[in-house]
Amino acid sequence: MPACAPEYRFVRSNTDLIFSPRAKRCSHQPPFTTLRRSFSSTFSLIPEEQAVPPEYPASLPRLIGVITWLPRQFLRPLIAIFNFIAHPAWKQILVVLPTLWIAASLFIFWKCVQCPLGVLKMIAGALSSSPEKQRTVLISGGSSVQALHLARNFHSAGARVIAFEIEGQFTLLKYSAAVSQFYTVPRPNPGDPLAYARALKEIVEKESIVFYIPVSSSTPAYYDALAKPHLEVMGCQCFVPCARDVVALDDPLELIRLCRVAGLATPQFWVVASEEDVKSWYESGASKEGKHFIVSAGPRGARDRLRFILPDSITHLRFPREISAEKPWVIMREPKGERLMTCTTLKGSRAVNNVTCRLDTERKGLIPQKDDDADAWVQKFVACLTPARPMTGHIAFRLVREENTDGKGKLVAIGARVGVSLPYLCQGPKRCGHAATVGNLLNTVLDTREALFAYWDPLPYCAYYQARSPEERRPPTPEPCKTPPNVPL
């Protein structure tokens, strides 16, 4: 070993490894380098020089800073505003919560135009030569398209329209110029069904309502029928049958019984009152012979108004509802053929108007058509009704024209619902006849966009199609509404 080569002795400390030489180093050796513990990609020791020469900034950037000092002082407020706008919270509001932004914009816009519209309404009312007092109409189902069409028709006829919807639903009619006031009420509770009636009484008393039309799109008509006697005492006429008649019309078993009394065709059905009945039905192989659906039946079933499509195999069945003797269900086989839906207007237990639409599965919509067979079927069915009181209201029937070899299929009723259905969109501002209104819409798919838009009332169209996702903007299917699970009484 050369004489100048030093020998190192490793001395471990808490933090560093210090190399202390035993031999005297030569004069031509470089200065010592201290090795400190550090981690690299190979977990080796990285040398670090003790002395680092200082870096002095160039004089040119300092000169530029002195020259631009005054402009930077003027630009400082703009930079602060830009930093405030570019904050990540704004990005979350603008990108992640577009619905909130759109709703706030519509609300501000509506508040800006509400005052001028109110002034114009007051001027128009003062210049009106009609000596009669303006009547006030109350409409439920403020989130549905048919309720909007109904409100516009009454507004065009000169009535003052008040609308409401249950809490949690989209308030479509709130943006309509045809609606003077909009309310929200709690959802009907089976444990306290009269709470819904008390909420309606407050609206009727406050707004001096003289006519109430329940659309029954988001709630069953059963609760409106319970509120009917309480509202009629206050002088408000209700366009809905009594509770007994509503239960009879919404109950599928009662519908089948009335069809048999009237001599009308009925679908094949099975009554199930337990889970064992459902298993036995699947084991019989009936589920393989066509399309089936299960409907809530009985008085409680008419109140719930539930309908589910059944799978072909019991292994795919997920049915979270109660099936018992108190809450029976009916399994129906849907006949093959053309499916129809009607909107029938009853006055004094007589069908004064009926609009029929055909369900087009390819274009996924309702097509209005003039159907004499459907009109005759409705007249024959209504003639066999034995209501407790003269029946007044709207009823929607779901019919199927069976496929036969002779080409003349019978109409079979597979469902009925008290309330205003989508075919009502064919009705004009006046009490139009069937042929006069539907004749212009034959073979045309009933488009909800055209029904929503009106040149004098454009806000509902904007609110409906901007506050909903693209998947939800499709026209709703004509199915009965589904209410929350039933609460035992």
Q: What is the pLDDT of residues 12-45, one digit of tens each?
A: 444 444 444 444 455 555 554 444 444 444 444 4
| CA–centroid distance for 288 within its chain | 33
pLDDT above 70 covers a percentage of the chain that reads 71
CA angle 26, 27, 29 (to 5 degrees): 70
**Average pLDDT score over residue span 360-388:** 87
Which pTM was predicted? 0.68
Calpha distance 238→232 (Å, rounded): 7
The answer, yes or no, to whether residue 489 has pLDDT greater than 70, is: no
Calpha distance 138→319 (Å, rounded): 37
Q: 10 Å Cβ neighbour count for 12?
A: 8
Lowest mean per-residue pLDDT among 64-78, 89-103, 266-280: 89-103
**Average pLDDT score over residue span 115-142:** 75
Residue 388: band (very low, low, confident or very high) from pLDDT cuts 50, 70, 90? confident
- For residue 365, the model assigns a pLDDT of 78
Query: What are the structural domains, with CATH classification, of the chain?
Result: 8-47 (no CATH), 99-242 (3.40.50.20), 246-451 (3.30.470.20)
The answer, yes or no, to whether residue 189 has pLDDT greater than 80, is: yes
- Report the 3 state secondary structure along the chain: CCCCCCCEEEEECCCEEEEEECCCCCCCCCCCCEEECCCCCCCCCEEECCCCCCCCCCHHHHHHHHHCHHHHHHHHHHHHHHHHHCCHHHHHHHHHCHHHHHHHHHHHHHHHHHHHHHHHHHHHHHHCCCCCCCCEEEECCCCCHHHHHHHHHHHHCCCEEEEEEECCCCCCHHHCCCEEEEEEECCCECCECHHHHHHHHHHHHHHCCCEEECCCCCCCHHHHHHHHHHHHCCCCEECCCCHHHHHHHHCHHHHHHHHHHCCCECCCEEEECCHHHHHHHHHCCHHHHCCEEEEECHHHHHHHCCEEECCCCHHHCCCCCCCCCCCCEEEEECCCEEEEEEEEEEECCEEEEEEEEEEECCCCEEEEECCHHHHHHHHHHHHCCCCCCCCCEEEEEEEEEECCCCCCCCEEEEEEEECCCHHHHHCCCCCCCHHHHHHHHCCCCCCHHHHHCCCCCCHHHHHHHHCCCHHHHCCCCCCCCCCCCCCCC
Task: Select the more confidently predicted residue: 433 or 84.
Answer: 84
How much is the mean pLDDT over the chain?
A: 77
- For residue 94, the model assigns a pLDDT of 61
**Average pLDDT score over residue span 247-265:** 92
Interhelix angle 459-466/98-127, rounded to 10 degrees, is: 170
**Average pLDDT score over residue span 227-236:** 94
- Classify the phi-psi angles of 338: left when phi > 0, otherwise alpha if psi is within -120 to 50, otherwise beta: beta
**Average pLDDT score over residue span 187-209:** 92
- Classify the phi-psi angles of 72: left when phi > 0, otherwise alpha if psi is within -120 to 50, otherwise beta: alpha
- For residue 437, the model assigns a pLDDT of 41
The answer, yes or no, to whether residue 164 has pLDDT greater than 90, is: yes
Task: Select the more confidently predicted residue: 94 or 469.
Answer: 94
Residue 179: band (very low, low, confident or very high) from pLDDT cuts 50, 70, 90? very high
Task: Extract the tokens encoding 305.
Answer: 């108004």
33 φ, ψ (degrees, to nearest 5)? -115, 130
- For residue 1, the model assigns a pLDDT of 46
Lowest mean per-residue pLDDT among 93-107, 259-273, 356-370: 93-107
The answer, yes or no, to whether residue 109 has pLDDT greater than 50, is: yes
Q: At a CB cut-off of 8 Å and minimum separation 6, what does 475 contact?
A: 364, 365, 366, 446, 447, 448
CB 150 within 8 A of CB 169: no
